[in-house]
């Protein structure tokens, strides 16, 4: 039974290309499927293009969710990047 995990974070800055790249690199390290949801748009976190395509901006809520054996670690890693990397760009 695959584990699943979900966490919501409010962005402190816009989700620019560089943090999107960091997210894709980080998410790719996990076996779990990892996705980000903003409003009605959901993106595969392992796809830099999809993450950029969210066009997420400061103040928006992002839901990070993962399904798979390492889902919990994957969500933690993704949320850490969202919290850290979007702070600077804002």
Binding site for other proteins (CB under 8 A): 14, 16-18, 20-21, 24-25, 44, 46-50, 52-53, 55, 57, 89
Compute the least distance from the CB of residue 7 to other proteins, in Å. 23
Of 55, 31, 27, 29, the residue nearest 41 (C-alpha)? 55
Compute the least distance from the CB of residue 1 to other proteins, in Å. 26
Mapped onto helix, strand or coil, the DSSP state of residue 62 is strand
**Residue 8 vs 17, nearer CB to other proteins:** 17
Helical spans, DSSP H, in 14-70: 17-27, 48-53
Compute the least distance from the CB of residue 90 to other proteins, in Å. 12
Residue 25: partners with Cβ closer than 8 Å, 6 or more residues away? none
Positions marked active-site? 16
């Amino acid at each position: 039974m695959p584990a699943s995990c979900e966490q919501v974070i409010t962005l402190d800055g816009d989700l620019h290309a560089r943090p999107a790249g960091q997210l894709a690199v980080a998410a790719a390290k996990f076996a779990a499927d990892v996705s980000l949801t903003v409003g009605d748009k959901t993106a595969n976190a392992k796809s830099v293009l999809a993450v950029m395509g969210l066009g997420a901006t400061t103040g928006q809520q992002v839901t990070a969710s993962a399904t798979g054996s390492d889902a919990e670690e994957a969500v933690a890693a993704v949320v850490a990047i969202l919290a850290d990397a979007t702070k600077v760009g804002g």
